[in-house]
């Protein structure tokens, strides 16, 4: 097992190097650079930009250099903990993103937990009581959640909150708690704001989870070991939860790695609509203004999350599914 | 207000009593929030903080102090709203009607007859927000910084086409000398561009420059910057640069000073009153009346701001939220939200400007687009009323790209020519342009045998209605044998395509509807924004000589005339000359417009007073700042 983990970690590092090159190249792909978009902004306000000024800026920012030089500067900086400067904000990238990533992980992590809390019991119920009224209701509800676009659901929630309660929903904190330290009132304030995005993000994925769990569980429930367990007089809940559910979880666990990045990218529009200070809107803006190092850092960190998540899910899989063996001959 | 509803003697008595009671309040010369600071000696008395001759700003009524003006920034980089609310404090300013240039920081000025020399006298005793005097030293320092090639700011101060030198006479008097005549210099100073010269304080900003601080480079490095220029930019960003508002230490001359700065992570940007602000109301009370500004920062969507406005959580705003689509919503929500809608007259003349590329690199398309008959044909083939009815719920009227009716340059013929929908005329003009053959789909064939297809670049993110309009135009033009292809792209790419010269057409709104003289981009090849003749504009400006192309004779004549406009100090002669430019525009018909940009609106809370009912809106006339928000107050 340890040998497996070590091999997995080495592969992870190599993947990260490859991913960082690809990420940087993709950000460089669109025509123009930060200065083009900066000049576009200036020009739209009626300014004429002197080409000499542009040359000067391009030199200052090191934008004229070839791709591999820029990449090498960037990646060696990152190894030393320096993610570069944001062009737009003239600030170290790390300073800008760490709070945002924290918010993202918090909100999106809670959305994952809520999603699982909703989906697991419903999935199990739907499998055990196949074709019952409850199964159909759960299915329909799940599919509605899947079918409504997240941003639209967010808009509806905002509108209803405005109509019914006369409040403007948005943000993660009330003004007085925005910059406060964590405390019980602040946690309460956070939860009273965060329930909406969490709900929106969670409903999007539940249907999928319910269907996967239900299908897998249905396969398992017919197997002889279940019949045997039942025949030996185990209580029904134990029969189901202890073996078939554990095995049915396999596809869920093996996709943990995709979950976090999918949530971050999936939540961009929700964050914009609901005005959440998470990494999503910042990524969106940095891409449109071609703020290269900021966008690169966010994409790289998302990739790290994916790769690390995959390693975790591999290890978890080995733990929950006794049928999986690594490196065995 | 209560007094009005009482009648007779009781009313008079009550009024007298109230006047007596109010007397101390009228003697008030500063906001009560400053009283304690003055008493403790932290702040000098109001008389010492004000100039000897403060600028008096009169509102409809004398207001009272206090309150917080709530508004919303759209996304982190929304420096525009801040400029338009707080930062419009130049040497001079515009009046409410956008006609006259009024004194501001400069008390008076004189221009030489040939419009090359401008002498200004500063208001005596104006102070920065940190209490230090505002003098010609600061002006001299600003000019020095802007003209430093390493401090890449970009404005009229360091304009290579008409270099400027500054002569300081004494603490209050100074002179700008231009190499070439600059007849519209006062308009430049009164517009947003004017705030460049008042943006830097020598005492604070000089510490980041090697001339004044030999350790400037080392300081920059230890602060994490690659050189002093980047550090200086970060600390002392010029004019309206976004990060200018992210340094709370930077002294300013605005009515309000930053409390919570703008940053990538700021969820709100807040401002408090500048205790040294140099304007008073008619009774000598120091302005502004409103103590605080509170700008919530949205993450780039306007949905939350729209709901906040409906909910009465926005006190005044026009920018971002006043969209066409939301107008009925805001109209219905007035009573519940406790606000009303003000009128905003846009400076843009047109909802959509179709700019065919007259400098196309493909000779066939170049010839076609340069044919006036072709452009007139397209104009007649567009059913403008249908577009107005469908997209703008009937608001607006068929209009070309021309000065708006509110402008002194309005010319009905220029505004209305070729706007009628006329299939026969369209066909005639297309034929005159050499389009006779059609292919199996009914699309005209060009001289090289290819179908007449025009690919139109558009940024739908900027104005969603552009796509709606273009889709209708697409159907209309297809019926006449012209294939319009929509190319919805990102803004950066949109700009990148211009120098390459291989685009067919681009879409923008009709800037220069009111400020035609300063923004003539559609009337002749004036700037990079004259996309329809990008290479001719380069010839005019000398900016990108490698792609400059010699313009057609008529355009050269316009450029000649406009150079005379620039050199002319007399407004009447200037108008004469500019009318000649417009006459050539009318004759040549370079770009195609659709409809007059309908008036917009603002959200004004009912308890916010002294807000003018109608205001113009443009970047050069940065609404609401020229409408003097410093005299607005909460009842």
| CB contacts, 8 Å: A173 with chain B | 267
In B78-107, the residues whose Cβ lies within 8 Å of chain A are 80
pLDDT of residue B4 exceeding 50, the answer is no
Chain-chain contact of A100 with B265 (C-beta, under 8 angstroms): yes
Cβ atoms of residues A279 and A287 within 8 Å: no
Of residues B109 and A134, more confidence is placed in: B109
What pLDDT does B622 receive? 92
Whole-number Å distance between alpha carbons of A313 and A320: 10
pLDDT band at B299, cuts 50/70/90? confident
Q: B222 and chain A: CB distance < 8 Å anywhere?
A: no
Is A90's Cβ below 8 Å from some Cβ in B?
yes
pLDDT over threshold 70, residue B227: yes
Concatenated DSSP letters of B293-319: EEEEEESS-SHHHHHHHHTT--SEE-T
Rounded to a whole number, what is the distance in Å from the CA of B85 to chain A's nearest CA?
16
Asked if A284 reaches chain B (Cβ–Cβ under 8 Å), the answer is: yes
B52 interfacial to chain A (CB closer than 8 Å): no
SS3 content of chain A, % helix, strand, coil (to 5): 75, 0, 20
- Give the closest residue to A36 by CA, choosing from A221, A289, A297: A289
Interchain CB contact of A257 with B (< 8 Å): no
Residue A42 forms contact with B (CB below 8 Å): yes
Write the pLDDT tens digit of every residue in B584-634. Answer: 999 999 999 999 999 999 999 999 999 999 999 988 899 999 999 999 999
* More confident position, B494 or B360: B360
Lowest mean pLDDT among A109-113, B279-283, B438-442: A109-113
Contact B149 A52 (CB under 8 A): yes
Nearest CA in chain B to A33: B492
B528 in reach of chain A (CB within 8 A): yes
Q: Identify the pLDDT of residue B28.
A: 65
The pLDDT score that the predictor gives to residue A299 is: 87
Q: Considering CB atoms only, which of A170, A171, A281 is closest to B300?
A: A281
Nearest to A90 among B160, B234, B299 (CB): B234
Asked whether the whole model's pTM tops 0.90, one would answer no
Percent of chain B with pLDDT strictly greater than 70: 95
Res A223 pLDDT > 90:
no
A213 inside 8 A of chain B by CB: no
Please give the Cα distance from B225 to B227 (Å, whole number): 6
pLDDT bin (cut points 50, 70, 90) of residue B368 is: very high
Continuous segment of H or E residues that includes residue B615: strand B614-617
Model pLDDT for residues A238-290, shown as the tens digit of each residue: 888 888 888 888 877 877 777 767 766 777 888 888 888 888 888 888 888 88
Q: Do B310 and A51 touch (CB under 8 A)?
A: no
Nearest to A273 among B230, B301, B511 (CB): B301
Tell whether the model's pLDDT for residue A327 goes beyond 70: no
User: B-contacting residues of A 287-316, CB under 8 Å?
Assistant: 288-290
Q: A67-97, pLDDT tens digit by residue?
A: 888 888 888 888 888 888 888 888 889 888 8
Q: What is the per-residue pLDDT across B526-539, written as a single tens digit (0 to 9) for each?
A: 988 899 999 999 99
Do residues B509 and B478 touch, judged by C-beta distance below 8 A? no
Among A59-73, A143-157, B543-557, whose mean pLDDT is lowest? A59-73
pLDDT of residue A46: 56
Chain B interface includes A49 (CB < 8 A) = yes
For residues A320 and A252, the answer to whether their CB atoms sit within 8 Å is: no
For B145-177, what is each residue's pLDDT tens digit?
Answer: 999 888 767 789 988 888 999 999 999 999 999
CB contacts, 8 Å: B192 with chain A? 45-46
Length of chain B (residues):
635
What is the residue-wise DSSP string for B153-184? Answer: --SGGG-SSS-EEEEE-SSSEEEEEESS--TT
pLDDT at B395 over 60: yes
pLDDT at A310 over 50: yes
| DSSP of B219-257 | HHHHTT-SSHHHHHHHHS--TT-GGGGG-TTS---SSEE
Q: For residue B297, give the chain A residue with the closest CA.
A: A275
Is B326 part of the contact surface with chain A (CB cutoff 8 Å)?
no
Of B224, B264, B527, the CB nearest to A282: B264
Whether B107 and B136 have beta carbons less than 8 Å apart is answered as no
Return the pLDDT at A48.
Answer: 61
- Cβ burial of A105 (10 Å; 0-12, 13-18, 19+) is middle
Query: B103 vs B91, B93, B121, B197, CA distance in Å?
Result: 7, 6, 10, 15
Say yes or no for a CB contact (<8 Å) between B300 and A272. Answer: yes
In this prediction, residue B16 carries a pLDDT of 40
Query: Which residues does chain B have within 8 Å of residue A276's beta carbon, measured at their own beta carbons?
Result: 299
Per-residue pLDDT tens digits for B18-67: 443 343 344 468 999 999 999 999 999 999 999 999 999 999 999 999 99
Cβ–Cβ pairs < 8 A, chains A and B: 151
């Amino acid at each position: 097992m340890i040998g497996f983990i070590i091999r997995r970690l080495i592969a992870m590092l190599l993947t990260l190097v490859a991913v960082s090159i690809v990420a940087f190249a993709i950000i460089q792909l669109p025509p123009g650079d930060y200065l083009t978009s900066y000049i576009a902004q200036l020009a739209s306000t009626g300014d004429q930009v002197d080409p000499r000024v542009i040359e000067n800026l391009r030199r200052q920012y090191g934008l004229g250099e070839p791709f591999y030089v820029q990449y090498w500067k960037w990646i060696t900086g990152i190894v030393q903990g320096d993610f570069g400067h944001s062009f737009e904000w003239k600030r170290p990238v790390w300073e800008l993103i760490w709070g945002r990533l924290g918010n993202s992980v918090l909100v999106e992590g809670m959305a994952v937990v809520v999603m699982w809390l909703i989906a697991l019991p419903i999935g199990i119920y739907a499998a055990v009581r196949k074709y019952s009224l409850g199964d159909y209701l759960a299915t329909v509800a799940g599919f509605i959640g899947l079918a409504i676009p997240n941003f639209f659901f967010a808009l509806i929630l905002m509108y209803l909150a405005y109509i019914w309660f006369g409040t403007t929903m948005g943000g993660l904190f009330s003004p007085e708690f925005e910059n406060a330290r964590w405390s019980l009132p602040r946690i309460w304030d956070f939860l009273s704001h965060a329930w909406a995005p969490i709900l929106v993000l969670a409903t999007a994925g539940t249907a999928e989870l319910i269907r996967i769990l239900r299908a897998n569980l249905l396969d398992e429930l017919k197997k002889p070991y279940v019949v045997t367990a039942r025949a030996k007089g185990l209580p029904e809940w134990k029969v189901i939860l202890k073996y078939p559910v554990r095995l049915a979880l396999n596809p869920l666990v093996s996709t943990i790695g995709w979950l976090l990045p999918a949530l971050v990218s999936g939540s961009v529009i929700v964050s914009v609509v609901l005005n959440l200070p998470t990494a999503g809107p910042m990524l969106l803006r940095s891409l449109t203004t071609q703020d290269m190092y900021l966008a690169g850092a966010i994409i790289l960190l998302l990739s790290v999350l994916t790769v690390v998540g995959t390693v975790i899910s591999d290890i978890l899989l080995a733990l929950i599914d006794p049928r999986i063996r690594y490196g065995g001959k | 207000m209560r007094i009005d509803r009482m009648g007779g003697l009781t009313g008079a008595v009550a009024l007298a009593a109230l006047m007596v009671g109010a007397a101390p309040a009228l003697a008030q010369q500063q906001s009560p929030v400053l009283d304690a600071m003055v008493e403790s000696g932290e702040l000098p008395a109001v008389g010492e903080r004000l100039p000897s001759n403060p600028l008096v700003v009169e509102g409809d009524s004398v207001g009272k102090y206090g309150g917080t003006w709530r508004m919303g920034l759209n996304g982190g980089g929304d420096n525009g709203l801040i400029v338009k609310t707080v930062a419009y404090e130049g040497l001079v300013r515009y009046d409410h009607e956008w006609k006259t240039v009024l004194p501001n920081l400069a008390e008076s000025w004189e221009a030489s007859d040939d419009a090359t020399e401008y002498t200004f006298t500063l208001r005596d005793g104006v102070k920065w927000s940190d209490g230090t005097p505002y003098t010609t030293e600061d002006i001299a320092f600003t000019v020095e910084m802007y003209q430093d090639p390493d401090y890449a700011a970009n404005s009229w101060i360091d304009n290579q086409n008409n270099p400027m030198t500054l002569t300081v006479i004494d603490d209050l008097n100074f002179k700008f000398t231009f190499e070439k005549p600059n007849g519209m210099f006062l308009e430049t100073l009164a517009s947003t561009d004017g705030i460049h010269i008042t943006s830097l304080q020598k005492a604070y900003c000089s510490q980041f420059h090697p001339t004044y601080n030999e350790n400037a480079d080392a300081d920059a490095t230890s602060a994490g910057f690659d050189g002093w220029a980047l550090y200086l930019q970060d600390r002392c960003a010029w004019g309206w640069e976004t990060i200018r508002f992210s340094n709370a230490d930077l002294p300013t001359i605005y009515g309000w000073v930053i409390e919570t700065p703008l940053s990538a992570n700021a969820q709100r940007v807040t401002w408090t009153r500048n205790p040294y602000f140099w304007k008073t109301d008619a009774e000598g009370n120091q302005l502004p009346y409103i103590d605080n500004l509170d700008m919530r920062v949205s993450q780039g969507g306007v949905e939350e701001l729209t709901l906040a406005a409906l909910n009465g959580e926005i006190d005044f705003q026009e920018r971002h939220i006043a969209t066409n689509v939301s107008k009925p919503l805001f109209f219905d929500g007035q009573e519940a939200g406790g606000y009303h809608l003000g009128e905003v007259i846009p400076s843009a003349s047109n909802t959509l400007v179709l700019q065919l590329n007259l400098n196309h690199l493909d000779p066939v398309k170049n010839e076609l687009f340069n044919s006036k008959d072709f452009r007139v044909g397209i104009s007649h083939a567009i059913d403008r009323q249908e577009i107005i009815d469908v997209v703008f719920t009937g608001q607006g009227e068929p209009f070309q790209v021309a000065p708006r009716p509110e402008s002194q340059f309005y010319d009905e013929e220029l505004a209305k020519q070729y706007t009628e929908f006329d299939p026969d005329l369209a066909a005639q003009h297309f034929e005159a342009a050499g389009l006779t053959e059609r292919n199996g789909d009914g699309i005209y064939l060009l001289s090289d045998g290819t179908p007449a297809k025009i690919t139109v670049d558009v940024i739908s993110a900027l104005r969603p209605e552009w796509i709606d309009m273009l889709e209708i135009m697409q159907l209309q033009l297809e019926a006449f044998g012209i294939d319009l292809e929509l190319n919805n792209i990102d803004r950066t790419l949109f700009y990148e395509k211009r120098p390459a010269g291989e685009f067919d057409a681009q879409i923008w709104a009709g800037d220069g509807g009111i400020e035609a003289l300063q923004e003539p981009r559609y009337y002749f090849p004036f700037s990079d924004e004259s996309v329809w003749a990008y290479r001719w504009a380069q010839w005019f400006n000398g900016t990108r000589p490698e792609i400059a192309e010699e313009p057609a004779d008529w355009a050269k004549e316009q450029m000649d005339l406009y150079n005379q406009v620039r050199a002319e100090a007399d407004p009447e002669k200037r108008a004469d000359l500019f009318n000649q430019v417009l006459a050539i525009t009318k004759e040549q018909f370079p770009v195609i417009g659709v409809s007059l940009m309908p008036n917009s609106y603002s959200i004004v809370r009912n308890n916010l007073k002294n807000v003018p009912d109608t205001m113009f809106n443009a970047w050069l006339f940065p609404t609401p700042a020229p409408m003097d928000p410093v005299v607005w107050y909460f009842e």
